């Protein structure tokens, strides 16, 4: 099972299109970072459907002139994502996010606070207004039921006379 982590300017990764990192900003960053490079056509073909034209490879140069790919950074609809990142990759994502004035957010909208040397620290998303969960609506339903029962009892007492 895959786990995706995203670099986004939005509070929730699914809203990346509303607060995008533009394609131009992403590609300019890739060009400025010596550890990243644009993917090659051969890499796109070999890694379909996970690697696309605007993606980048985080690389470690080898002595023989080739690169070892440490992670694929995918650009899609205003955000950057990495599939199944390791702790080191989360650190690289945090560096990129800082430069792009963005956040690192997982699939459940938890925000990466500290990639840490061995264990990352995540912060749960702040609930939005109206996202109080079932407990709020359950309290509202129980309260309404008590009021209705109370009114029914009062009406019964008045009609009984």
pLDDT for 101 equals 95
What is the pLDDT tens value at each position of the chain, 161 positions in all?
678 999 999 888 888 889 999 999 999 999 999 999 999 999 999 988 889 999 999 999 888 988 899 999 999 999 999 999 999 999 999 999 999 999 999 998 888 888 877 777 878 877 766 555 555 566 777 778 888 888 888 888 888 86
What value, to the nearest 5°, has the Cα angle with vertex 78 and ends 14 and 88? 80
Listed by start position, the domains of the chain span 4-123, 127-161
pLDDT for 33 equals 97
Count of CB atoms situated within 10 Å of the CB of 58: 23
| DSSP E strand stretches across the chain | 4-8, 36-38, 56-61, 67-76, 79-83, 103-106, 111-114, 121-123
pLDDT for 11 equals 85
């Amino acid at each position: 099972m895959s786990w995706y982590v995203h670099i986004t300017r939005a509070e929730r990764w699914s809203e990346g299109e509303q607060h995008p990192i533009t394609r131009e900003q992403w590609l300019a960053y890739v060009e400025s970072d010596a550890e990243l490079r644009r993917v090659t056509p051969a890499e796109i073909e070999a890694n379909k459907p996970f690697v696309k034209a605007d993606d980048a490879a985080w690389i470690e140069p080898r002595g023989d002139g080739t690169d070892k790919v440490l992670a694929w950074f995918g650009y899609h609809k205003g955000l950057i994502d990495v599939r199944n990142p390791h702790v080191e990759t989360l650190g690289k994502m945090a560096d990129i996010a800082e430069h792009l004035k963005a956040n690192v957010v997982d699939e459940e909208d938890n925000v990466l606070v500290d990639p840490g040397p061995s264990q990352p620290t995540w912060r749960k998303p702040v609930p939005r207004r109206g996202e109080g969960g079932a407990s709020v609506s359950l309290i509202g339903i129980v309260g309404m039921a008590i009021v209705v029962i109370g009114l029914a009892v009062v009406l019964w007492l008045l009609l009984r006379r």
